[in-house]
Amino acid sequence: MKKTIFIIALILVTVGLIYNYYPEPKLPANANVDLLVVKKSKHQLLAYSNGKLLKSYKVSFGDAPIGHKEFEGDEKTPEGIYTINAKNDKSGYHKNLGISYPNLADIAHAKAIGKPAGGDVKIHALKNGLGAINKFQRLINWTNGCIALTNSEVDELYASVKIGTKIEIKP
């Protein structure tokens, strides 16, 4: 019985390591991503150039991913059309791309319900020092409302996305 449990555990660990570290296709060299589309229900971030899909990424969101972000601390990722408004290579989460949330409608809605709109919504990687988690981060929603990728995936987007790029976040 102990031998069977050991073999099963060994197989599971091996499969997990293969999943976590098996290389995935990269963005084409010198890609110019001009549109990002996020499909929250499918946990996807799609990178486009001139209408052509270049790559699909598997992403994680906040602890409460369903619905549009209404106020600071609700753990939701906003929905709507925004832009990439910042790039930070000194982030506490490897690197990040800033999303222009909140817009005027977001601010007005939060004010109407008596809450702050919040901000600092990012496309980011793993917390510094935790890069070995790699693709396992995809298994749960763990951010405070941001869109999370692996470190290498954020590196790709960081190099290929310019400030001002449109991002459309769909339910």
Distance separating alpha carbons of residues 19 and 31, to the nearest angstrom: 26
Structure tokens at 104: 């005027």
Distance separating alpha carbons of residues 37 and 48, to the nearest angstrom: 8
Distance separating alpha carbons of residues 36 and 53, to the nearest angstrom: 10
Residue 43 is a catalytic residue: no
Distance separating alpha carbons of residues 154 and 145, to the nearest angstrom: 17
Residue 68 is a catalytic residue: no
Largest separation between any pair of C-alpha atoms in the chain: 63
Distance separating alpha carbons of residues 86 and 97, to the nearest angstrom: 6
What 3-state class would DSSP assign to 170? strand
Among residues 68, 94, 109, 146, the one annotated as catalytic is 146
163: left (phi over 0), alpha (psi -120 to 50) or beta: beta
Catalytic positions are 124, 146
